[in-house]
Structure 1
Amino acid sequence: MDEITTLYQENHELLLGLVLQLVAAIIIFYVGRLVAKGLSRLLEKGLLSRSVDKAVVAFLVSIVYAVVLIATILMALSQIGVQTTSFIAILGAAGLAVGLALQGSLANFASGILIILFRPFKAGDFIDGGGVSGTVEKIDIFQTQMKTPDNKRVIVPNAQITGGPITNYSAEPIRRVDLVIGISYDADLLLAKKLLHDMLLNDPRVLTEPAFSVNVGALADSSVNMNVRPWVNSADYWGVYWDMLERVKLTFDEHGIGIPFPQMDVHFYKDKIDTKE
């Protein structure tokens, strides 16, 4: 008993220091876990307020919580004297190996996060991205699911979409239909402009504001090209585009206005060959 008392008296400062370090490590771990939970909740509320998919939110929140908790554990171990340099080196090497092995997947993951956060498009939009044109059906972390106009389902990696220009045809409520109508040089230009003007006025899908325009765009090699540019609601774009082309052909035929097409004149020359008998 006396030996234990003597040992305690000789090492009580060391023991007290160890106890204080242990208490400090426990406090660091406790506070760090509270911080991890608080950050996770803030991130979850922020993402849900931006209408981010719940599965994506849960995935991101779990990653943030795990990263903060690992950092807290390393700090707590360092407080009690454990050398954490080797742990950090191991984690870094493991992270590098995983990153190299999943380089393409990580790029798609990062692109998916950018799409979800900045929302260049959403489900239901018709876009042109990653070399594919179609309606967005679903946005996942690694890929975006699209349906083409001919009803084909295409899965496009997110990195392929964000790696180039993205054209969102559904982003604006109205669009302009650009048509180039050519007539022959001997046709009545003023009559053609009046007929086009009347066709646009009589189509209820053509908006009055912004106003449409019918102008001569070019004096081409074999035709006078007119630019016809009506504004329509985005949902009516293709209907107006196709109907106008058909109506222009029928109306011009009815009024004798020729629509030129490429032609080639071939001339044959017969050489006179003198023959000697």
Structure 2
Amino acid sequence: METEKWIEKGLELLMEYTPRVLLAILIWIVGLWVFGRVVKYARKIMKKRKYDVGLQGFLATILDWGLKILLIIIIMGTLGIQTMSFAAVIASAGLAIGLALQGSLANFAGGVLIMIFKPFKVGDFIEAQGISGTVKEIGIVNTSLNTFGNQLAIIPNGKLSNENIVNYSAESIRRENIIAGISYDSNIKKAKEILLDIVNSRDTVLREPAPMVIVNELADSSINLSLRYWARNEDFWDCRWYVLEEMKYRFDAEDIEIPYPHQVEIQKEG
């Protein structure tokens, strides 16, 4: 009698849960297919928009796992399992992890923004966080720069994405602005002619826009001339170094005085 009761109970459970199990299996199969197509389509969009390869893989993995967790929750609900508590546990765990990794998550979010909006790329010369250098690597958490002295500078992406960035490689040409101070006794017109002659004699200085010299400031001890010219990025520093050195030679030859601080020593007889 007891055996028949258990058999009857088992048949009832089998009749009740078999359709649910079959439906859950069907949802799992169809869900995997649909979500797989979604991930594939997302990869195609990221590739079309030329997202960074590393970012493509990372975002696709996050999307894939998120959809699978959603699918598991749906299947649990189909089987009659209470999902509210399960979702609450996931939310609580996510909040705890987020608080513990707040700084790292900010850097991660910054890395995603940099890879999406691309304010710079590998090989660009940038200035950020008080550091200037050539971008060596753009990671999810940090960006690496090679400085002038060939040191490796690592900047967290969180700060990098929220602060000012100067990208010197974004445009193909750059304008220089060299301030040349001359004494009040020197001939302004002659000094301007010398500066223009220096830059015009250099093939790597662009003729358009044309170089120019203006009186920038009448300072306390000098007349400050501003020499402005344009050069290609690859020629910029060679032009600057040439102009500075040649300016000193030419000013000396033409008796154009470059003021420098003088120290007056007063001795008082006791």
What is the CA distance between 1:34 and its match in structure 2? 2.1
What is the CA distance between 1:101 and its match in structure 2? 2.0
Larger radius of gyration: 1
* Aligned residue identity for 1:249: K
Note the alpha carbon deviations across 1:176-195, whole angstroms, 9 max, x for none. 00111111111111111111
More moved, 45-54 vs 222-231: 45-54
* Aligned residue identity for 1:231: W
RMSD (Å) for aligned C-alpha atoms = 2.5
Structure 1 position 192 matched with structure 2 position 201 = no
Residue 177 of structure 1 aligns to a residue whose secondary structure is: strand
Please, which runs of 5 or more residues in structure 2 have no aligned partner?
none
* Aligned residue identity for 1:233: R
Structure 1 position 236 matched with structure 2 position 244 = no
Note the alpha carbon deviations across 1:106-134, whole angstroms, 9 max, x for none. 11111111111111111001111233211
Q: How many residues align?
A: 264
Other-structure match for 1:217: 216
- Cα distance in 2 for residues equivalent to 1:11 and 1:87: 27
Other-structure match for 1:255: 254
- Cα distance in 2 for residues equivalent to 1:134 and 1:36: 42
Other-structure match for 2:85: 86
Residue 237 of structure 2 aligns to a residue whose secondary structure is: helix
Alignment of 1:1-277 (within 5 A): 15=15, 18-266=17-265
Residue 122 of structure 2 aligns to a residue whose secondary structure is: coil
The percentage of aligned residue pairs carrying the same residue is 41
- Cα distance in 1 for residues equivalent to 2:218 and 2:212: 18
What is the CA distance between 1:53 and its match in structure 2? 4.0
- Cα distance in 2 for residues equivalent to 1:52 and 1:151: 29
- Cα distance in 2 for residues equivalent to 1:118 and 1:144: 15
Give me the TM-score of the superposition, normalised by structure 1.
0.86
More moved, 59-68 vs 89-98: 89-98
Does the Cα contact within 8 Å between 1:36 and 1:64 map onto a contact in 2? no
- Cα distance in 2 for residues equivalent to 1:181 and 1:270: 40
What is the CA distance between 1:257 and its match in structure 2? 0.9
More moved, 222-231 vs 89-98: 89-98
- Cα distance in 2 for residues equivalent to 1:114 and 1:39: 22
